[in-house]
Amino acid sequence: FMSPKDLHVHSRDLAEMEMKSASNCKERKWKFTSLHGFLAIFVIVYLVESMGGMYIISAVQSIEKQFRLSSKLSGILVSASTISYIPTVLFLSYFGAQGNRARWIGAGSLGMAIAYLLIASPNFLFPSPQLAKGALGNLKETLAPSAEQLSPNASFGTLLSYPLISDRFTTEQIRILSSRFNDNLSGNVYEMEFSNQTSPYLADFGLMHKAVSEAGKLLNSTDGAPNASKLRAILAAYVGRRKDGDGAQEIRAASNAHFSFCSTLVNSLQTRIKEIKCVNGENVYRPFLVFFGALLLLGVGRTIPWSLGIPLIDDNVSKKSMPTYFGAISFIRILGPISGFLVASIVNKLYYDFNPPEGLKPEDQSWIGAWWLGFIIIGCFSLVSSIALCLYPTASVSVIDEDGKARKMHFEDKHKKVDNSDKCLKVRVKDFLSTYRTVISSKIYVYAVAARVLDIMAFKGYIVFLPKYLENHFGIARYLVHRYMAIFGVFGVALGAACGGWLTRKFRLNGQVVAVFVIVVSSINVVMYFSKIFITCDSSLAEIGRQYESSAHNLTRACSADCACDGAKLYPVCDESGTPFFSPCYAGCREANKRGPNIEFSSCSCAAGSRVAKDMCMQSCTPATVAFFITVVLGAFAGGLGVVPALLILIRAVPPATRSAALGLKGFLMALFGSLPSPMIYGFIVDSSCLIWESACDGARGSCSLYDPAALRVRLHAVYVVLRFVALIFDVLIYREAEAIDIFEEDETVETDSTTVAQHTTDR
């Protein structure tokens, strides 16, 4: 037995050992119980969610090209995640608030991770089909010359009728050569040095180039007999080399090229290839269904973080610190699209199978980026954060807040009236309806939601089609478009959001003052976007659009009339004077050859200097581009400044116990009336500016190849300005009701544990 004194000492020693053990245990569990640990993981979840949402927009064009999806199908894919988001957000935000919100957020993040990996899977499940070896027929038989063409006495007309030769001359040139010189070609033989110059798209390029050169001299000469005999010898040698059908490899390469030039044979084969792909079009729907299902799952997963995460943070930090936290979270949420665009700019420089066709570069519109790689990266980040959140405890625990005080971290909604676990379904439904009735009874909440719905309606569709506008109006390469949007646009919004939260706390903007602040910064945003209507540019595509309108919607000229350019692919090139052409075919170019990494087209009957190339296009858009991105930065920063104050107005307009439901209803309405219709509205506006349409397999209109630059510029920005102006009207209505809003409402009584406080003091 111990004396009272010894018992006291022993008890004290045991207490100290228990405190040390508890302290060690606490240290081991810190990362799964601390508020700051949760915030760190939550920030990653938010970053990945917003990154993925913007990355999807950047990947749509590559997905559409790889799987030959029509514009109608790709439009459905853009809205798929919103379709599933709408019916689930109300229920998950309400019932999720009744349970452990950290784990609910973890489950949502896990769903997003699975969805992103599924979105990438069609690249591996459905690889792009290759044309069967005989799909284009036996090209060697087609190219084999006839006995008459191989005859030593073959006439000029007979030699010129050989397909690979007739493709290199105009109809008028063939008529003149055949009629004028057939009688003057007997018995003359010439020794010729054949050039070793080759082209991946033309058989015996050097020899045929010499023939074209000699024909030009002949057509401009008055004494034609010697020159005609020399030309005939070259043509006979060319035909003789084709007796075994040699040249099929070059013709096949030209038929599968990402451009069209003046060749009736090649262009007819390109049309045939398109028809073959249309016949196999039933395979389009298998990858489409995988994409659609994955995006539906993504919509359910992304429902949870915003509607449960913000109230969880609001329940666990002091109200004086909320503007700072909201500013930081809004900064990260908007920083996500920056990361998404930067990832897109990197992976879009890689070809989707890492083996690009010869001569195809990331700047070309036919380029298909490695879109699937970005989804794998984003999915892995989402998977890691979901695992960390699912390790949080099931019950509220004591943590140290940002002021160094001990308080309980509420994983469940601390404003719940009673435990609902034993309630019947009828009572739960009644509570559900009562909660939302309370929310919509607030005028300020209704006005705020209406304004934000119009904001997202203006922004979502605009940001979806902005890459197309920048590419077509300013001539900026697609991967650079994503980089510029990240640097100038999204970063401006993110910086504005962080500054808006800091200003709200620093100057304690409250009541009508914070409402006026939102009105002012929104007005600046509208003015900046209105000014973009007047920023014009003379890019190559814009000039081609003006040419098309001024030529009665016909790109074919007399000099390219026999080139069979109908259905030619968009491949803008320019001649030596800087005049742009829709494609080398419309420039009348009959020769294509590589010059280093570039492709140059020659023997162009419509072009100055008879040559065209992409690198000859002289852009005069630098001042206009700089001016445009200045308005982007200023407008984005002004719009970002209002993000945090507007959010604080909304959540302070409803009772604390209904804030999860209020945010869920806001998300539902913004998705239903803002995010869902916005791409459709802007899509209609953008399509109304189209000048040249590609044809789909069913004969319907496919995607747009060329836009009216002026109409696209005015309509795109006018829609944005009108929608934001109507949103401003609702912000003014908020100002009239905002006097009673207390952004910095006092903290409610916080539960603390004296033992934890003592232990924390001892540890310090």
Query: So what's the pLDDT on residue 537?
Result: 84
Residue type, 345: S
- Please report which confidence band the pLDDT of residue 30 belongs to, taking 50, 70 and 90 as the band edges: very low
Given a cut of 80, is residue 361 above it in pLDDT?
Answer: no
Query: So what's the pLDDT on residue 671?
Result: 82
Give the span between the Cα atoms of 286 and 288, in whole angstroms: 5
The average pLDDT across 438-461 equals 92
Q: Which CATH code is given to the segment(s) 32-128+282-412+424-536+622-763? A: 1.20.1250.20
Tokens of 310: 């913000």
The average pLDDT across 398-403 equals 52
The average pLDDT across 750-760 equals 32
Do the beta carbons of residue 37 and residue 393 sit within 8 Å?
no
Given a cut of 50, is residue 29 above it in pLDDT?
Answer: no
Higher-scoring residue by pLDDT: 285, 500: 500
Given a cut of 50, is residue 465 above it in pLDDT?
Answer: yes
- Please report which confidence band the pLDDT of residue 754 belongs to, taking 50, 70 and 90 as the band edges: very low
Strands, DSSP E only, in 484-587?
573-575, 580-581
The average pLDDT across 212-233 equals 73
- Please report which confidence band the pLDDT of residue 14 belongs to, taking 50, 70 and 90 as the band edges: very low
Given a cut of 80, is residue 259 above it in pLDDT?
Answer: yes
293-302 pLDDT, tens digit per residue, is 999 999 888 8
Higher-scoring residue by pLDDT: 745, 200: 200
Give the span between the Cα atoms of 224 and 607, in whole angstroms: 27
For the chain, count helices (H), then strands (E).
30, 9
The average pLDDT across 466-488 equals 83
**DSSP structure string for 669-727:** HHIIIIITHHHHHHHHHHHTTEEEEEEPTTSSEEEEEEE-HHHHHHHHHHHHHHHHHHH
Do the beta carbons of residue 473 and residue 699 sit within 8 Å?
no
662-709 pLDDT, tens digit per residue, is 887 887 888 889 988 888 788 888 888 888 877 766 666 667 778 888
Of 552-556, 651-655, 719-723, least confident by mean pLDDT is: 552-556
Given a cut of 50, is residue 644 above it in pLDDT?
Answer: yes
Do the beta carbons of residue 408 and residue 391 sit within 8 Å?
no
Of 428-442, 619-633, 749-763, least confident by mean pLDDT is: 749-763
Most confident of 57-71, 263-277, 696-710: 263-277
Of 144-158, 371-385, 743-757, least confident by mean pLDDT is: 743-757
The average pLDDT across 734-747 equals 76
Query: So what's the pLDDT on residue 195?
Result: 56
- Please report which confidence band the pLDDT of residue 721 belongs to, taking 50, 70 and 90 as the band edges: very high
Task: Using the structure block, give the residue that is written with the tokens 């690889």.
Answer: 127
**DSSP structure string for 731-748:** HHHHHHHGGG--TTPPPP
Most confident of 66-75, 94-103, 329-338, 703-712: 703-712
Alpha helix segments (H runs only) across 367-418: 371-390
Do the beta carbons of residue 602 and residue 595 sit within 8 Å?
no
| Average pLDDT taken over every residue of the chain | 78
Query: So what's the pLDDT on residue 423?
Result: 58
- Please report which confidence band the pLDDT of residue 182 belongs to, taking 50, 70 and 90 as the band edges: low
User: What's the burial of 55, exposed, middle or buried (CB within 10 Å: 0-12/13-18/19+)?
Assistant: buried
Query: So what's the pLDDT on residue 134?
Result: 55
Domain spans of the chain, in order of start? 32-128+282-412+424-536+622-763, 142-255, 547-616
Query: So what's the pLDDT on residue 523?
Result: 96
Sheet holding 580-581, edge to edge: 580-581, 573-575, 611-613, 598-604, 589-595
Give the span between the Cα atoms of 389 and 310, in whole angstroms: 15
516-559 pLDDT, tens digit per residue, is 999 999 999 999 999 999 998 877 888 888 888 877 778 888 88
